[in-house]
Amino acid sequence: MRRSFRIVVLGMCTLLLLACGSSSPRIEMDDVNVRNLCNIGVNGESEDRCDLAAPECPGSLFCWDPQDEQLVQGFCRECMDDNNCEAGEECDHGWCHATCSQHGDCGTNEMCVGGLCRHPYTTEFSFSNSGSGDLEIYKSQTTLKGESDACAYTEVVWSIGGDPVVLGTDESVMLRIYFLPPDVGMFRAVINIYSNDDALSPLPLLLCGESVEAKCMPSSEEDCAPCTAACTEENFTPILDSDPGCALNHGSAS
């Protein structure tokens, strides 16, 4: 299953405070603190358009109607209901997905999302140490904040193993965050990174994602609708101290 998407990075700078002392660690990240995953197709398949009035799709695909009143075209998809899928699969938004209860039930590069195997979307943050002392990043103290929709971001992978991650001067580590929307909608989360940089601990990562029925719903010629209005720092204020009821699952790159 192929997913096509774009990651739009909002031009919002984070003011990083200098840690006091000549031998203090200092955590640095790129100059963006809001990551906006906009117009992410919930299916992620490459799909052809079809005319609902005279549906024509290649092979055995159906002209699938997402029931959008403004839509004059459908999408060529592989199922109308579970009967069109193989045993052990379910029809979801016109595509067949293997059922699952954990990530291990899914194929290569797939994860279990809402009981179905899907390919995830990702965004990454790079942290470096610009101080003169060793920087320690405490993975186990990293917290996820937000409402229940924040649980779309529970899977994180660090490029360096161990806890804490220890960075010498000018060394860096990458954090990959997986966006796993179970359905269409807006998903916001705050991930707080704790370190021994007393001037900036925790460091908040603001994440905003929108999962849609299909990329660029109104027509194949128009650009995707921007979702930047829902992805500003002000939108995160009400959820900074909320507990979404799920925990981060940490991994390390092999």
pTM greater than 0.85 (yes/no)? no
C-alpha distance across the termini of the chain, in Å: 23
Mean pLDDT of 68-86: 79
Mean pLDDT of 85-99: 92
Is residue 135 a contact partner of residue 129, using CB atoms and an 8 Å limit? yes
The pLDDT score that the predictor gives to residue 135 is 95
* Per-residue pLDDT at 124 exceeds 70: yes
Position 110, amino acid: E
Q: Phi-psi category of 162—alpha, beta or left, where left has phi over 0 and alpha has psi -120 to 50? A: left
The pLDDT score that the predictor gives to residue 1 is 37
Pick the CATH number of 8-44+119-252 from 2.60.40.10, 3.40.190.170, 2.30.30.90, 2.60.40.1220: 2.60.40.10
Mean pLDDT of 95-106: 94
Mean pLDDT of 195-221: 79
The pLDDT score that the predictor gives to residue 3 is 39
Mean pLDDT of 77-97: 90
Query: What span, in angstroms and rounded, lies between the C-alpha atoms of 165 and 200?
Result: 16
The pLDDT score that the predictor gives to residue 212 is 81
Give 29-51 pLDDT, tens digit per residue.
Answer: 876 678 888 878 777 566 677 88
The pLDDT score that the predictor gives to residue 52 is 80
Give 47-64 pLDDT, tens digit per residue.
Answer: 677 888 888 888 888 888
Is residue 29 a contact partner of residue 14, using CB atoms and an 8 Å limit? yes
Q: Strand locations in 22-120, DSSP E?
A: 27-29, 34-41, 49-51, 62-64, 73-77, 89-92, 95-98, 111-113, 116-118
* 239 Cβ contact list (under 8 Å, min separation 6): 145, 146, 147, 150, 188, 189, 190
* Per-residue pLDDT at 20 exceeds 90: no
* Per-residue pLDDT at 234 exceeds 60: yes
Q: What does the block give as tokens for 169?
A: 């001067």
- Residue boundaries of the structural domains of the chain: 8-44+119-252
The pLDDT score that the predictor gives to residue 49 is 79
* Per-residue pLDDT at 158 exceeds 50: yes
Kindly indicate the confidence band of residue 239, based on its pLDDT and cuts at 50, 70 and 90. very high
